[in-house]
A = this chain, B = another copy of it.
Amino acid sequence: MQSRSPASRTGRPRSATADAAILAATREALVELGWSKLTLGDVATRAGVAKTTLYRRWAGKNELVVDAVAELFDELELPDRGSLAADIEGVVLQFASILALPEARSGLMAVVAEATRDEALRERIRASVVDRQKRLVLEGRARAQARGELAAEPDPASSARTVDLIFDMVAGAVVHRTLVSAEPADEEWVHSFTGVLLRGLAGEAPPPADV
């Protein structure tokens, strides 16, 4: 999250509870106010903390919100449901349920938007949010290959590209459904989505003539 120079061993140590209180207050404020009306002064007040304490730990609103939202993704995991399709549906539903939380909806897109002009922020998001999800894709694929549902990809570079592609497709679709179309990514939708993802558009409907 944030670290102090290892040399500083003297003086009063930072309050551990303050960190937690600030992140909780940030999420609370995100729910009530949304990203754009969230102010650091207000967060500090909610957390029962002085503004300086907050600035001692985070550089600004962006960094703070990334950390606050990232904690929501801690619980993601991939239970083995027996088949690739079921595994995908499971993890997509988990992802969708997080995006349904107002604190995530408000904050996530906003920091992504900010990150278009801030490389460090983009890296922070990648490290604390994206990679945590991408790990599940890797895990799911390995499992599917073990089951024989997917062939092994020998070339590591091409393999990485495929993972990235799939991840962009999964995460992108859920995000777009949830935030842009503003419709719930419920079980029915996830099922349809998984169908297309696995079998393609053509395979979805009765098989085409030839192609």
Contact = CB atoms under 8 A, between A and B. Distances in A.
A161 B165 CA distance: 24
Interface stretch (A18-26, A40-48, A74-82, A170-178): A170-178
Contacts of A153: 205
A113 interface: yes
B106 A208 contact: no
A174 B168 CA distance: 8
Contacts of A184: none
A189 B165 contact: yes
B211 A149 contact: yes
- What does DSSP make chain A's interface, helix, strand, loop or mixed? helix
A150 B208 contact: yes
A3 B211 CA distance: 49
A171 to B, nearest CB: 5
Nearest to A129: B180
A116 interface: yes
A151 interface: yes
A4 B193 CA distance: 43
Interface of A: 34-36, 102, 105-106, 108-110, 112-117, 122, 125, 130, 148-151, 153, 161-162, 164-169, 171-177, 179-183, 189, 192-193, 196-211
8 smallest A-B Cβ distances: which pairs? A172-B172, A172-B176, A109-B113, A200-B200, A110-B113, A199-B200, A34-B117, A172-B173
